[in-house]
Amino acid sequence: MIRQCGNGCELTSPAVLRWSLGRLDWHYIAPGKPAQNAFVESFHNRLHDESLNEHVFLSLAEAQVTIEAWRDDYNYRRPHSSLGAPTPVEFARLKTEKLIPPPAMENLTQNPKSEPAIS
């Protein structure tokens, strides 16, 4: 398994690095290049802006409850524009049931430069 991360302080603690030995190959993105890990960077920004920066946790239990509530909202209740507006859970269900076409078909049907059909 490969873990790709930014160069921030969140995942560079000695404890995390010790834990990862033998479990993960650790890959850092280039400094100043967050686009190399855009999905994770976007998620981390949302998590920080909407939850972590809004609370002062007085205990680990309080942090777990608060972050779990945010995660539940993020995955089960909040529509995601990047997925075409369903929640991530709905999107996964639709994908599993094959109600969402494969990416190659999406590109063909949405490409405005494609040749018109000849009837």
Residue with tokens 């996964």: 92
Q: What pTM value is reported for the model?
A: 0.56
Question: 105 pLDDT exceeds 60?
Answer: no
Question: 110 pLDDT exceeds 70?
Answer: no
Q: 106, 83 in Cβ contact below 8 A?
A: no
Mean pLDDT of the chain: 75
In the predicted model, what is the mean pLDDT of residues 1-5? 61
Residues paired with residue 2 on neighbouring β-strands, in sequence order: 25
Q: What is the pLDDT of residue 59?
A: 93
In the predicted model, what is the mean pLDDT of residues 84-101? 83
* pLDDT tens-digit map of 18-29: 887 888 777 777
* pLDDT tens-digit map of 38-54: 777 788 888 889 888 89
Residues paired with residue 5 on neighbouring β-strands, in sequence order: 28
Inter-CA distances, 28 with 15, 17, 32, 34, 42, Å:
17, 12, 11, 10, 16
Question: 71 pLDDT exceeds 70?
Answer: yes
Burial 22-39 (b: 16+ CB within 10 A, else e): eeeeeeebeeeebeebee
Q: Which of 19, 95, 12 is nearest to 1 (CA)?
A: 19
Enclosing H/E stretch for 53: none
